[in-house]
A = this chain, B = another copy of it.
Amino acid sequence: MRRPSLDFYYEFSSPYSYLSAVRIGPLAEAAGVHVTWKPFLLGPIFAELGYSSSPFVDVPLKGEHMWRDVQRLAVHYGLPDVVRPDFFPLNTLLAARVALHLNDASRPGFTVAAFKALFAKGRDISDREVVRQVLAGLGHYCDHVIDAAETAENKAALKARVEEARAAGVFGAPTFITDDGELFWGNDRLEMAIAHAAAGGATAAKAS
């Protein structure tokens, strides 16, 4: 029998994607679920949905609550205090291109390290030098990786990934999609998505 799998769509500027990225590995491993890490860009999708920016930026009360909520969850999960970047929202194009370019074995490590650099250490990962340092810290030949991430081919691959996300019905991040097409939106649904994947869809609510 094929191992159940879960598509994990994440955007580097999303604090809730961070909370899922640092948790999904052990949770999925324990449940025997394979995770396919899918970096993408939320900007083009938000634009199509008619958002002028993130709802967390457009509605300040919602944004204030989001940061407070993320910090409470970090305490709840035993993570370091969350740093609220003063450069938020930020351009995550380079980080997403690098994550996409890396192979399946390296992508999770870079993803978690880049998220931690941003939300646990307050480093601006829209800055090429910061991305270089994250890569170097993981033992990558950083200039080589960044050059390869910025080829026309890899840029096109990221555009294709955004289209793939849009076609799959993704409208926010993080989003989890199981083999049977069940879509779960938000860090709050990580556990439910993994349970659904592990059960091969058997835990699915019947269609309402």
Contacts from A to B (Cβ < 8 Å): 49-50, 55, 58-59, 61-62, 65, 67-72, 74-76, 81-82, 84, 169, 171-172, 183-185, 188-189, 192, 204-208
Contact A65 B192, beta carbon cutoff 8 Å: no
Contact A81 B171, beta carbon cutoff 8 Å: no
Query: In the complex, what residue of chain B is closest to A195 when comparing beta carbons?
Result: B76
Contact B75 A171, beta carbon cutoff 8 Å: no
Query: In the complex, what residue of chain B is closest to A61 when comparing beta carbons?
Result: B171
Known contacts A185-B65, A192-B72, A192-B76; A82/B171 CB under 8 A: no
Contact B49 A205, beta carbon cutoff 8 Å: no
Contact A205 B71, beta carbon cutoff 8 Å: yes
